[in-house]
């Protein structure tokens, strides 16, 4: 029975209450989506202080974001007022480690005023090292080198105890860079973000007195989103909890979706092995979604074997069944979804509370095109609109310059992309010569070469691209614009540039370019496509008011919406083939957790769909529905047949036309709204 004097405990359900009042020893709180984990953490802090188990400055509360730390601190402040002054150890892993390092920097041969360098400085430093060591950064990018070094630091590996993976042939060379990189940081009295935790762990392991100081001070340790911790973060926590053993970790193993950034789900699953006396609490009552959505998500995730296990439920309504649909192709999928939003959901929900969640960012293109045609506002969360992405703008700039020689802005964008030794100085020289002689940039560059006014190294790269431009213009007369784009990507070295840089960012860029080639199929010629891009990037500029949310499922974690669409549930795309190829069953289980996260973002309505045909890498490929669809329970889902009554609807199905002043109904509607 709850103590009536402890008002702050009111409103907790039974399991939340138990997770708050049990203070002694290690605890793992397995908190399902929407089950009130933040409420549990903050109430637990209040209870510790109210029960006089510890002073505020003896409580360590660790989060992954500053926003989460501030939210918790603010919640505690409301109920504790003046006592919050002592909550000095609320923060992210990195911010807390900085505080410790400032006090004990000498232990790792740094001064207390050390600098924390950002990613740009890291890349610059690695680039300088590669140059000095004659490492070709065209074959191995600085970003890839940095990603490997970050991986080692997340695993607690210093240059001395790092053993390169024999299967990764580049790692031996990267280890050499790592050794020099760490020494350079020491020389500069600096560290990067990866160092902050690793240095702290090294200090604790090598200086028992310092470890005793902090582990003795922190009577209670609380950790948010524990499923997202990596090896070094978990080790740091274990060292600090060694004395008191009063550590409470809150998270959801079913939402562990960040292994690609170092998160290790085994920290969560093996908690009771590290702390044999640990007690586990499960928060299963959900305050976000309807029961049908929760049951569908729970049934799906139950197919994972590596999990603590829980079943989400709600005291609220059963709600609508989860809708599952199949479409002939991705265009039809985008058309129908936009039709549902426009004709059905618009009356029920604000656009701000409707979201389309995709597995890969290139999937947003079809929806963006559709919304532009219909005059529906949209936003990309955690990303950039398709035609505004750097790699897409690069490709379009190449095509613009081929189509229109006088397009100096396009010339400026692509002339040194990829690198051709044409720097800012040369570009300034071309610009000034162009202005004085009334030449376009391309003709100005040719004339400067003719007059022998360009440096030899620059001249070689400049001549190469100028000759290619002439060739491509000739090619454009003999082939369609899609084929031309493929030739440009190959012969310019742009594709090779992205393929050589082994990181997730460049893989996404390649996927986006493939989607661009897909988009070009819908236009008869280069002129029509370029006109479409120009209008697509300008129509939406001034859109005001409510907007539909488009984002990846990864970016949606922690968010919620009234209605959620989950398109592209096809084998190979979701679960993603690369994830399975690289990680086997663990990769498949992480993909399933990602599906679980996607479904549980929905409060009232969830739509899942797949396409039977997808245009990929220049070919139509037959797709089959994702295995995840087969794992959804029949009693909580409704299959919608989209192949009957499939008559064309003028407003929603016609292609947009720009020539001779003709516009789609959606475009006309948008103009009226903007006036």
Given 37, 235, 288, 370, the catalytic residue: 37
Q: What are the angstrom distances between the C-alpha of 71 and each of 63, 78, 95, 566?
A: 10, 11, 16, 30
User: Taken in order 574, 579, 583, 589, is the CA torsion positive or negative?
Assistant: negative
Given 171, 192, 195, 224, the catalytic residue: 224
The verdict on whether 601 is a catalytic residue reads yes
Alpha-carbon radius of gyration of the chain: 28
The verdict on whether 669 is a catalytic residue reads no
Q: What are the angstrom distances between the C-alpha of 589 and each of 221, 305, 592, 609, 611?
A: 30, 8, 5, 20, 23
Given 16, 255, 291, 364, the catalytic residue: 255
The verdict on whether 671 is a catalytic residue reads no
Q: What is the distance between the alpha carbons of residues 5 and 156, in angstroms, rounded to a whole number?
A: 46
The verdict on whether 426 is a catalytic residue reads no
**Please, where are the H alpha helices in 404-541?**
408-414, 424-437, 441-450, 456-475, 481-491, 494-500, 504-520, 526-539
Q: What is the distance between the alpha carbons of residues 113 and 459, in angstroms, rounded to a whole number?
A: 46
Helix (H, G, I), strand (E, B) or coil at 38: helix
Q: What is the distance between the alpha carbons of residues 23 and 59, in angstroms, rounded to a whole number?
A: 12
Strand locations in 64-150 (E):
90-92, 115-116
Given 38, 83, 158, 537, the catalytic residue: 38
The verdict on whether 225 is a catalytic residue reads yes
Full strand arrangement of the beta sheet holding 322-327: 378-380, 548-552, 354-358, 561-566, 602-611, 322-327, 637-640
The verdict on whether 206 is a catalytic residue reads no
| Paired tokens of 321 | 């069944």
Q: What is the distance between the alpha carbons of residues 36 and 287, in angstroms, rounded to a whole number?
A: 8
| Paired tokens of 145 | 């080198």
| Paired tokens of 233 | 């973060």
Strand locations in 543-585 (E):
548-552, 561-566
| Paired tokens of 163 | 């053993």
Q: What is the distance between the alpha carbons of residues 545 and 522, in angstroms, rounded to a whole number?
A: 30
Helix (H, G, I), strand (E, B) or coil at 370: helix
Q: What is the distance between the alpha carbons of residues 49 and 56, in angstroms, rounded to a whole number?
A: 7
Given 373, 592, 601, 614, the catalytic residue: 601
User: Taken in order 532, 537, 543, 548, is the CA torsion positive or negative?
Assistant: positive
| Paired tokens of 54 | 């510890």
Q: Which residues contact 168 (CB under 8 A, 6 or more apart)?
A: 148
Q: What is the distance between the alpha carbons of residues 528 and 522, in angstroms, rounded to a whole number?
A: 10
Kind of pairing between the strands at 619-622 and 322-327: unpaired
Q: What are the angstrom distances between the C-alpha of 522 and each of 24, 369, 518, 656?
A: 65, 11, 8, 10
Helix (H, G, I), strand (E, B) or coil at 257: coil
CA dihedral 518, 324, 604, 380 (to 10 degrees): -10
Given 171, 192, 195, 225, the catalytic residue: 225
Query: Catalytic positions, please?
Result: 37-38, 224-225, 255, 601
């Amino acid at each position: 029975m709850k103590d009536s004097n402890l008002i702050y405990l009111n409103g907790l359900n039974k399991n939340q209450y138990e997770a708050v009042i049990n203070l002694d020893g290690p605890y793992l709180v397995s908190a399902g989506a929407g089950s009130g984990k933040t409420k549990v953490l903050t109430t637990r802090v209040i209870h510790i202080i109210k029960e006089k188990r510890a002073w505020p400055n003896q409580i360590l509360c660790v989060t992954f974001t500053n926003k989460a730390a501030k939210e918790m601190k603010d919640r505690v402040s409301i109920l504790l007022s003046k006592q919050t002054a002592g909550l000095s150890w609320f923060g992210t892993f990195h911010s807390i480690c900085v505080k410790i390092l400032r006090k004990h920097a000498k232990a790792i041969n740094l001064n207390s005023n050390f600098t924390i360098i950002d990613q740009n400085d890291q890349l610059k430093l690695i680039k300088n090292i590669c140059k000095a060591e004659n490492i070709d950064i065209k074959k191995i990018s600085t970003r890839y080198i940095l990603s490997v070094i970050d991986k080692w630091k997340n695993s607690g590996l210093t240059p001395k105890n790092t053993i390169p993976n024999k299967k990764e042939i580049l790692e031996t060379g990267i280890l050499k860079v790592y050794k020099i990189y760490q020494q350079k940081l020491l020389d500069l009295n600096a560290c990067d973000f990866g160092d902050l935790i690793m240095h702290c762990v090294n200090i604790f392991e090598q200086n028992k007195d310092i470890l005793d100081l902090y582990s003795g001070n922190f009577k209670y340790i609380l950790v948010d989103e524990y499923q997202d911790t990596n090896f070094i973060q978990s080790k740091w926590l274990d060292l600090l909890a060694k004395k008191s053993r009063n550590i409470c970790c809150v998270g959801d193993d079913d939402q562990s979706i960040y292994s690609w950034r170092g998160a290790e789900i085994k920290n969560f699953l093996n908690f009771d092995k590290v702390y044999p006396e640990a007690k586990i609490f499960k928060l299963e009552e959900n305050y976000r979604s309807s029961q049908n959505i929760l049951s569908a998500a729970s049934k799906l995730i139950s197919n994972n074997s590596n999990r603590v296990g829980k079943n989400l439920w709600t005291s609220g309504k059963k709600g609508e069944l989860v809708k599952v649909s199949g479409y002939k192709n991705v265009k039809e999928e985008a058309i129908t979804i936009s039709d549902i939003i426009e004709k059905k959901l618009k009356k029920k929900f604000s656009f701000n509370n409707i979201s389309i969640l995709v597995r890969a960012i290139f999937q947003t293109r079809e929806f963006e095109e559709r919304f532009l045609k219909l005059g529906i506002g949209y936003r990309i969360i955690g990303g950039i609109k398709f035609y505004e992405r750097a790699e897409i703008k690069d490709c379009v700039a190449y095509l613009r310059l081929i189509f229109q020689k006088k397009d100096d802005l396009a010339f400026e964008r692509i002339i040194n992309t990829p690198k051709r030794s044409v720097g800012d100085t040369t570009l300034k020289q071309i610009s000034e010569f162009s202005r004085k002689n009334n030449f376009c940039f391309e003709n100005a560059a040719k004339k400067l070469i003719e007059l022998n006014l360009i440096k030899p190294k620059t001249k070689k790269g400049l001549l190469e691209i100028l000759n290619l431009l002439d060739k491509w213009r000739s090619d454009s007369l003999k082939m369609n614009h899609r084929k031309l784009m493929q030739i440009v990507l190959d012969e310019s070295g742009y594709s090779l540039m992205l393929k050589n840089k082994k990181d997730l960012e460049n893989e996404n860029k390649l996927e986006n370019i493939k989607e661009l080639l897909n988009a070009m199929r819908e236009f008869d010629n280069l002129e029509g496509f370029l006109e479409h891009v120009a209008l697509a990037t300008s129509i939406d500029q001034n859109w005001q008011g409510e907007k539909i949310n488009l984002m990846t499922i990864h970016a949606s974690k922690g968010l919620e919406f009234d209605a959620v669409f989950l398109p592209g549930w096809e084998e190979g795309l979701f679960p993603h083939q690369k994830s399975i190829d690289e990680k086997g069953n663990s990769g498949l289980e992480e993909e399933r957790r990602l599906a679980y996260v996607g479904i549980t973002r929905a409060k009232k309505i969830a739509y899942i769909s797949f396409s039977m045909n997808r245009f990929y890498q220049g070919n139509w490929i037959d797709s089959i529905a994702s295995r995840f669809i087969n794992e959804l329970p029949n009693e909580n889902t409704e299959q919608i047949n989209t192949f009957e009554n499939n008559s064309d609807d003028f407003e929603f199905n016609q292609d947009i036309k720009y020539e001779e002043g003709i516009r789609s109904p959606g475009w006309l509607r948008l103009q009226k709204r903007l006036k």
